[in-house]
Amino acid sequence: MKSERIILFGNPVLRQVSSPVVSFHKRLHDLLDSMRATLSSGEGGAGLAAPQISVLTRVVVLCNDDDYLELVNPEIIGTRGETVGPEGCLSLPGYFGTVRRAEEVTVKFFNRLGEEDVVTRTGLMGRGIQHEIDHLDGVLFIDRMEEEFVFKNKGKSKQSVKELLDLTRGKVLKNLKEVRQD
């Protein structure tokens, strides 16, 4: 299966709410396979939501040490604790910031065959689940940041979160090309 092009910050698709999957068929399987291929293509991400490849459907793929988790129509049904840590995003390459998340997350979802399941995760996988479900609702990690600056280039420079957020709200479109090149 071929990997897909990841759309970048500033693309309005990333701000839209995704529709639920209603049919568990070959097209869904192909989408999941393509998302896996994209995630494992060497971009360095731990998760990918369908909107990041311009598909507005509620599908997420996560990977931790070659352990893939496919979530169709995921819904967080429980959380416990709180943790603050760094996050980045394949749609905003090179940028990272500090985000507060639940320490443990329980999510209900369907697998590719339409079978319902529930899992509880902590650590990187728990953070990734929350991050990717946010994508399905048009929310980006910079919307949840603790600080007023997002860092780029491994912390060598920083940019105002407000300035980045203004990009997707149409206020600073002249800088969009610069952000996409980072």
Question: 132 an active-site residue?
Answer: yes
Please report which confidence band the pLDDT of residue 179 belongs to, taking 50, 70 and 90 as the band edges.
very low
Choosing from 104, 132, 147, 163, the catalytic residue is: 132
For residue 1, pLDDT over 80 is answered with no
Residue 1 is assigned to a structural domain of this protein: no
The pLDDT score that the predictor gives to residue 3 is: 82
What confidence tens digit (pLDDT) does each residue in 58-97 have? Answer: 999 999 877 789 999 999 999 999 999 999 999 998 888 8
Domain boundaries, position 85: 12-171
For the chain, the straight-line distance linking the first and the last C-alpha, in angstroms and rounded, comes to 28
Residue 179 maps to a domain: no
5 in a structural domain: no
CATH of the domain at 155: 3.90.45.10
In a domain, 177, yes or no: no
pLDDT at 154: 66
Burial (CB count <10 Å: 0-12, 13-18, 19+), residue 40: middle
Domain assignment of residue 182, yes or no:
no
The answer to the question of residue 180 being in a domain is no
Does residue 108 form part of some domain? Answer: yes
How many structural domains compose the chain? Answer: 1
